[in-house]
Copies of this chain bind each other. A is one copy, B any other.
Amino acid sequence: MITIIEYINISGSFVFAVSGALIAMKRKLDPFGVLIVSFITAVGGGTLRDILIDREIFWLYNTSILYAVFLGSIVAMIFKSNLNFFDKPMFFYDALGLGLFTITGVQIGLENNLDYLICIILGTVTGVFGGVLRDVVVNKIPVVFKKEIYATASILGGLLYIILMNCKIPNPYLQIIPIFFIILIRLGAVYFNVSLPSIYKDKFKHD
């Protein structure tokens, strides 16, 4: 179990670091700025989760996660000239990280015997808040609050995990199914330009 979570943390950190670096480079930050934004994006959500449940911060005694962040950030900086090449993979990386991290968050909540509702929130915090913090530090409204289904994918994926667990689906399907589910929802939403039904009517049209 621990090895699966560790593997997810490392690969998720790598992909979120790439996604963070790409957004930081769009703002033309300097190399260390890019590195710090990568770091915040990759470990921000999990760090907040660990602070909330008063658990040892997951990267504090596990430097392999930090090397994954460095690697992801540097890979993104080296291949920056092929940024067009990265443009689509960026969505995929981000969706993959969202899926991986959400499920780790839910799992850690369950291991701490927390309420299912809190577990889903911890999954969303883990999956989504790295990106929220990234957007806050580069001074834009978090993409999660915009139209494309993002937090929604994380919340529904966490819910699916809880349901599958209660159906006694075994490992690794218990993890793999909701991770793919989250990735599919996220990619499908962007591909088909789907968003949640708007709660704003004509009243707001001229804002």
Contacts and interface: CB of A to CB of B under 8 A. Distances in A.
Interface of A: 24-34, 36-37, 47, 51-54, 56-57, 60-61, 63, 66, 77, 80-81, 83, 114-115, 117-118, 121, 128, 132, 136-142, 144-147, 149-152, 155, 195-201, 203-204, 207
8 contacts: A28-B200, A28-B204, A31-B196, A32-B152, A36-B145, A51-B51, A52-B60, A54-B56
A36 B34 CA distance: 27
A56 B47 CA distance: 16
A109 B201 CA distance: 45
A54 B47 CA distance: 12
Given A30-B196, A47-B52, A51-B52, 8 more contacts: A30-B149, A32-B144, A32-B155, A33-B144, A33-B145, A36-B144, A61-B114, A137-B142
